Amino acid sequence: MAAIVEEQKQITQILAHDILQKRVSHAYLFTGADQLQTTALGYWFCQALFCPHAHAGYPCLKCNNCRRIQKGDFPDVSVLQTSKQNLGIDEIRDFKLTLGQTGLENNHRVFLIKGAEKLTLAAENSLLKLLEEPEGDLTIILLAASRSSLLPTVLSRVQIINLPASSDQDLLQRLQQQGYARPDIDLIQKVHLEDQVITDLSANQFSKIKTQVQSWFHLLLDNPLQAFVAVAASILPIIENRSQQEIFWNLLEWYFSQNLSEQTGSTSALMKSRQLGEQFLHAQKLWSANVSFENSLEQLALAADSISKGS
C-alpha cells in the first residue's frame, strides 16, 4: 500500500495546511469504504499534530513521537476500537475520566475512535457533550465507513472529510469492469454514490433502480395516484435492502433538484415544484426515522396528489 500522502494527496494537503494555519478543528470525521485508508489517515493526522520535526505541516514519520503514535503507544493519543458489535457508553465515559488527569506529555489531546459506526445511541449522545463543550485542547477524530450511520447532531459538530474510494480513474475502470454503462457512471459520480454502489450493487441492479426512480419521479409529477400504486407494484419488488433504499432516495433527490433548477416556467409551476420538494424531504425524514420505505413513498405520492389538485 502506497503512503497515505500519495494516495490522498489533496486531503493530506488540506489537513497539513490547517495545522500550519493553526486552524485545526475540534472534531473530524474521516469516512471511506476503505478502512485501511481511513485508519492510515487518522494516524497520519495525529503524527502531523505531534511531530516536533514536521515540515510544512507534514510529519517526519521517523521520530520518536511519530513511531510511538504508529504503534499506539503515545499517551496523548487515545485510540478507541472494539472487535465487538457495538461501542458502548462505558468506553466514552472511561475516556472522559482520563481527561482530567495530568502528567501527559503535551497540552494537546487526541481521541481517535475507529469504527464510529459501531457507537450506540447512548455513546453517541455522550460523545455529543464532548463535541458541544470541548474540554481544553482536545481533538476528536472519528473514523467510519459512511456518515449515514451517525446522528445528524454529531455530524453537525464535526468537519467531515470523505476519502474517495480510489482515484477517479481507478473508479471509472472498476465500474467499467463491473459492466456499468458510461451514462450510469456519470450519474453515480454526480450523485456521489461511489462507495455505496461499489460495495453493494451490480451494474444491472443499478440500472434497474435508476430506471425505476426516473419513471416514478415522472409519475409523481403527472399522475400521483398511479405513483401510489407503483410503490407496491413496481418499486418494492426490485429494492432488496436498506442500502438500496438509500440509493433510491439519493437518486430521487437528484431528480428533484434537477427539476427545480430547470423550472423557468410559470410561478405556479415553480410553487408546485417547491412544495413537492418539501414533501420529498418530509418523506425522506420519515424513512430515516424508521417509517417503512413503502409507507414513506406512498405518503409522498399522496402529498403530490393533493399538491396537483391545488389543495
Region of 11-19, 50-58, 117-125, 275-283 interacting with Zn ion (CB under 5 A): 50-58
Q: How do 159-162 and 27-31 pair as beta strands?
A: parallel
Residue 128 touches Zn ion, criterion: CB under 5 A: no
Of 15 and 304, the one with the shorter C-beta distance to Zn ion is 15
Helix (H) or strand (E) holding 141: strand 138-144
Q: Which residues in 243-272 contact Zn ion (CB under 5 A)?
A: none
Residue 60 touches Zn ion, criterion: CB under 5 A: yes
Rg of the chain on CA atoms, in Å: 23
Region of 53-61, 263-271, 283-291, 299-307 interacting with Zn ion (CB under 5 A): 53-61
Please name every residue paired with 79 in a beta bridge, in sequence order, or none if there are none: 112
Q: Give the Cβ contact number of residue 272 at 10 Å.
A: 17
Region of 22-30, 60-68, 92-100, 245-253 interacting with Zn ion (CB under 5 A): 60-68
Residue nearest to Zn ion (CB): 51
Of 72 and 183, the one with the shorter C-beta distance to Zn ion is 72
Q: Give the Cβ contact number of residue 3 at 10 Å.
A: 11
Task: With beta carbons less than 8 A apart as the criterion, state whether 3 and 108 touch.
Answer: no
Q: Give the Cβ contact number of residue 2 at 10 Å.
A: 8
Of 54 and 87, the one with the shorter C-beta distance to Zn ion is 54
Among 16, 66, 143, 150, binds Zn ion (CB under 5 A): 66
Task: With beta carbons less than 8 A apart as the criterion, state whether 41 and 11 touch.
Answer: yes
Residue 5 touches Zn ion, criterion: CB under 5 A: no
Residue 16 touches Zn ion, criterion: CB under 5 A: no
Of 56 and 289, the one with the shorter C-beta distance to Zn ion is 56
- What span, in angstroms and rounded, lies between the C-alpha atoms of 74 and 94? 17
Region of 48-56, 79-87, 131-139, 173-181 interacting with Zn ion (CB under 5 A): 48-56
- What span, in angstroms and rounded, lies between the C-alpha atoms of 59 and 49? 8
Of 53 and 285, the one with the shorter C-beta distance to Zn ion is 53
Residue 104, amino acid: L
Region of 52-60, 190-198, 254-262, 267-275 interacting with Zn ion (CB under 5 A): 52-60
Task: With beta carbons less than 8 A apart as the criterion, state whether 109 and 136 touch.
Answer: yes
Among 41, 48, 51, 127, binds Zn ion (CB under 5 A): 51
Burial degree of 47 (CB within 10 A; 0-12, 13-18, 19+): buried
Q: How many residues bind Zn ion (CB under 5 A)?
A: 6
Residue 63 touches Zn ion, criterion: CB under 5 A: yes
Of 51 and 116, the one with the shorter C-beta distance to Zn ion is 51
CA 303 to chain centre: 29
Of 32 and 59, the one with the shorter C-beta distance to Zn ion is 59
The string of DSSP letters for 45-64 reads HHHHHH-TT-BTTB--SSSH
Q: How far is the CB of 298 from Zn ion (least distance, A)?
A: 58
Residue 237, amino acid: P
Q: How far is the CB of 58 from Zn ion (least distance, A)?
A: 9
Of 46 and 304, the one with the shorter C-beta distance to Zn ion is 46
Q: Give the Cβ contact number of residue 108 at 10 Å.
A: 15
Question: Can you give the binding site for Zn ion, defined by CB under 5 A?
Answer: 51, 53, 59-60, 63, 66
